[in-house]
Structure 1
């Protein structure tokens, strides 16, 4: 849990704070919510400038209230006149339920807006605590009216959306990506564009015999193809040229032991399976 922070708020509470605490009308409230949603993406000076524009002639009274609101770090810091509001009750209940479930990294965040307008209740986001990726990984919330806009019976709904890129960065930053070994047996290297068809035929033949074969179709230089096989930790490279296609004998290089031999397709199958198994049909070979 120390890797993540669950930030929680309630859109009904946000509406109350905008109208009752900041004294903004509907247009001003919408603009302020969008500004708060961007708060961590713009400078403090730019945030203040835009807030002054939203408050207009009431900026002298509004800015101190906005600063006070942003400083509310717990539900207990909310204005006393909102203590009995249904949205506050829901927040307290959710936070209590999370603690009962052993989730200790959930916090109330009064600035959490979830920019989309269709949210009607609880909203949440999960943030990566790492300074290298301090951003929302995914989030969502309650929306009661959205489904009804599509001509069906309105139902209360909770949804969540995930950022694929941010999740990948989270896994990378915290070293959580599994280091899976390659299960490919042979890397087939066409030595020329003309030998690609023959190399493809060999790949299909080997696959039919249960050999896991990868065919390089990039047309890049041979040394780069070999480097690709080494990077993927594939144990064998098979070189396919016009001579090999004509004779049916292919150069097979053991990339682990750095030796070569020239053999037919049937022998490649045997070499691979001898390497892959050690008396147990389910034991995958190791480099």
Structure 2
């Protein structure tokens, strides 16, 4: 028995459960592609300074959760904890912001945060994210939210809600920040939280500890101190969401865990997951590109947790993904039959059929057990007598019905049995 195990706090997906994971990721990605977003493949690690500046020096992500190390050249690099900063770096580096705007990109893959492992909270988490950069349009904010909503609905999810607020911008947040800090300074906060209140007071509103949440119950709210422009932006976002048929609830206390958010901020919440109820979220980040050395362009995006979305599907009892490894399981009985079956399998795969074989010289009984375990609809059986007669046996595994199909016409016969069109 192996003495090695997977690192703590990292989920693994393997057959047949991995089919559901793939289906969740692909369904969310399809909703993104339908809105005209192009794919970007990002590095798994980047210069540590990118995340320190992009995510925010005062965030828990930067101060407590990043996997940071020196490479062999003595450079400080960090496994990516989120995707937006990396996308912005890529857009700036490759000049994508010099072309048509908005730049609309999406990405998928693993992200890394050192946290206490628990249900739905992993040290390697899988995300799908989008970023729309270069246009400050409330309709674009609404589009981003609607894309995520469409992806969740396509999976069959119904037990989630969209929480929405606005965090203002540089025209109104400074005055609100002073009011909030004045309020927080009067509270008996612990030294660490008090320091956080001086650096980024909004982060105190995001504190999950019950005692802190009780103390900030009467804290001033950003939505009550918006500039006329930010108020109008927020009202337009809500109007567009209503036009798109996206239901939402306003949560003026919503504060995302990253510093770069401005104006529109949102989170998808599923109460079936317990404490880790967020399955995705995002918002607008109008100053991030300039902070990273690019043009002063706005942006809006989201990150959806593939792991947590899968858990939400399971919480609702949804079956997602095709658990079958193949459509047809080929059973050769004898070496001469095997040579013909291997060729048939290749032809069927070329025609778009998922095919597996009984390898290793299994007998009929063992091979049929393997066919059942594969989840295939049909077994294609070829023995020495069948070979001599020029016909294989096509067996529907659910009903047990079996009929011969000519070897020269086996591919179109299988396609017809699967309900797929054949070439004339």
TM class by smaller structure: 0.5 to 0.7
Q: Is the 8 A contact 1:244 1:250 kept in 2?
A: no
Quote the Cα distance in structure 1 between the aligned partners of 2:308 and 2:335.
Answer: 39
- Which of 85, 89, 92 is residue 225 of structure 2 equivalent to? 85
Match of 1:225 among 348, 370, 379: 370
Match among 153, 165, 179 for residue 295 of structure 2 = 153
**Is the aligned partner of 1:117 residue 2:259?**
yes
Please, which runs of 5 or more residues in structure 2 have no aligned partner?
Answer: 1-148, 150-157, 186-192
1:108 to 245, 251, 265: 251
Report deviation, 1:186.
2.8
Give the C-alpha shift of residue 237 in structure 1: 0.2
Relative to structure 1, the CA distance from residue 226 to residue 207 in structure 2 (aligned partners, 3 Å threshold; closer, same or farther) is closer
Map of 1:265 onto structure 2: 407
Cα offset, 1:140, TM superposition:
1.0
* C-alpha separation in 2, matches of 1:240 and 1:149: 66
Residues in 2 aligned to 1:172 and 1:129: alpha-carbon distance in whole angstroms: 13
Spell out, residue by residue over 1:226-282, the C-alpha distance to the aligned partner (whole angstroms, 9 max, x if none).
2234x35x1x202357x58975654432324424456552253464356456xx959
Q: Note the alpha carbon deviations across 1:110-165, whole angstroms, 9 max, x for none.
A: 1x321122223332111124466961222111212211244321112222121122
2:236 & 2:198 partners in 1: Cα distance? 29
Q: Give how far 1:203 is off.
A: 0.9
Structure with more of its chain in helix, by fraction: 1
Distance 1:25 1:205, change over 3 A: closer
Aligned length: 245
- Bigger relative CO (Cα 8 Å, ≥ 6 apart): 2
Offset at 1:168? Answer: 3.2
When normalised by structure 1's length, the TM-score is: 0.60
Does the 8 Å CA contact 2:167/2:223 hold for their aligned counterparts? no
SS in 1 for 2:262: coil
Tell me the distance in 2 between the aligned counterparts of 1:11 and 1:200. 62
In the superposition, the TM-score normalised over structure 2's length comes to 0.44
Larger Rg: 1
Contact 2:166–2:252 (8 Å) recurs in 1: no
Distance in structure 2 (CA, Å) of the matches to 1:173 and 1:273: 36
**Residue 164 in structure 1 maps to residue 320 in structure 2:** no
Matched, 1:67 2:197: no
Describe the shift of the 1:91–1:135 C-alpha distance in structure 2 as closer, same or farther (beyond 3 A).
Answer: farther
Sort the Cα spacing of 1:92 and 1:240 in 2 relative to 1 into closer, same or farther, 3 A. same
- Mapped to 2, the partners of 1:91 and 1:223 lie a distance apart of 66
1:41-64 CA-partner distances (Å, limit 9, x unpaired): xxx5xx64xx6xxxxxxxxxxxxx
The structure-2 alpha-carbon separation of the partners of 1:192 and 1:266, relative to structure 1 and needing over 3 Å to count, comes to: closer
Compute the displacement of 1:15 (Å): 3.9
Give 5+ residue unaligned stretches, structure 1.
52-65, 283-287
